[in-house]
Amino acid sequence: MWLPAAAGVVAAGGMGWAVRGRSASLLAPSVWKGPRSRRAIALTFDDGPSESTPAVLELLAANHAKATFFMCGANVERLPAVARQVAEAGHEVANHSYSHSRLDFRPRQFMRIDLEDAQNAIASATGVTPKLFRAPYGVRWFGLGEVQKELGLQGVMWSAIGLDWKLTGPEVSKRLAAAAANGAIFCLHDGREKQASPDVSSTTGALATLLPELRERGFQLVTVSELLGVPAPRTS
Our answer to whether residue 117 is catalytic in this structure is: no
Amino acid at 6: A
Residue 172 is classified by DSSP as: H
DSSP string, 149-160: HHHT-EEE--SE
Residue 235 is classified by DSSP as: B
Q: Which of 46, 47, 114, 190 is catalytic?
A: 46
Our answer to whether residue 164 is catalytic in this structure is: no
- Angle 91-225-57 (CA atoms, 0-180°, nearest 5)? 20
Q: Which of 91, 96, 100, 189 is catalytic?
A: 189
Amino acid at 51: E
43: β partners: 186
CB 128 within 8 A of CB 233: yes
Phi and psi angles of residue 68, each rounded to the nearest 5 degrees, phi first: -115, 125
Residues assigned a catalytic role: 46, 189
